[in-house]
Amino acid sequence: MSASASSTAGDEKQEAAPVTHCKGVNDLDKVVLREVRGSSAEVYLYGGHVTSWKDEHGDELLFVSNKAIFKSPKAIRGGIPICFPQFSNFGNLEQHGFARNRIWAIDTDPPAFPVPTSNTAYVDLILKPAEEDLKIWPHSFEYRLRVALSPGGDLMLTSRIRNTNADGKAFSFTFAYHTYFKVSDISEVRVEGLETLDYLDNLQDRARFTEQGDAIVFESELDRIYLGTPSKIAIIDHEKKRTFVVRKGGLPDAVVWNPWDKKAKAMSDFGDDEYKRMVCVEAAAIEKPVTLKPGEEWTGKLELSAVPSSYYSGQLDPDRVIQDSIVPEDSIS
Q: Is residue 315 a known part of a binding site? A: no
DSSP string, 52-109: EEE-TT--B-B-B-TT---STTSPPSBSB-EEBS-STTSSSSSTTBSGGGSB-EE-SS
DSSP string, 150-170: -TT--EEEEEEEEE--SS---
Nearest C-alpha neighbor of 31 from the set 45, 13, 16, 12: 45
Backbone angles phi, psi at 294, to 5 degrees: -55, 130
Q: List Cβ neighbours of 215 (8 Å cut-off, separation of 6 or more).
A: 190, 191, 192, 195, 236
Q: List Cβ neighbours of 252 (8 Å cut-off, separation of 6 or more).
A: 227, 228, 229, 285, 287, 288, 321, 324
Q: Is residue 37 a known part of a binding site? A: no
Tell me how far the alpha carbon of residue 64 is from its chain's centroid.
13
The amino acid that residue 310 corresponds to is S
Burial 25-39 (b: 16+ CB within 10 A, else e): eeebbbbbbbbeeeb
Catalytic: 297? Answer: no
Q: List Cβ neighbours of 129 (8 Å cut-off, separation of 6 or more).
A: 137, 139, 140, 141
Q: Which one is catalytic: 35, 42, 192, 282?
A: 282
Q: In the beta sheet, which residues pair with residue 225?
A: 200, 255
Q: Which one is catalytic: 35, 42, 178, 274?
A: 178
Which helix (H) or strand (E) is 136 found in, with range? helix 131-136
Respond yes or no on whether the N-terminal peptide bond of residue 85 is cis (omega within 30° of 0). yes
Q: List Cβ neighbours of 169 (8 Å cut-off, separation of 6 or more).
A: 139, 294
Catalytic: 282? Answer: yes
Q: Is residue 190 a known part of a binding site? A: no
Backbone angles phi, psi at 289, to 5 degrees: -55, 150
Q: How far apart are CA 181 and CA 52, in angstroms?
A: 10
Q: How far apart are CA 295 and CA 259, in angstroms?
A: 39
Active site members: 178, 282
Enumerate the known binding-site residues. 77, 95, 100
Enumerate the known binding-site residues for substrate. 77, 95, 100
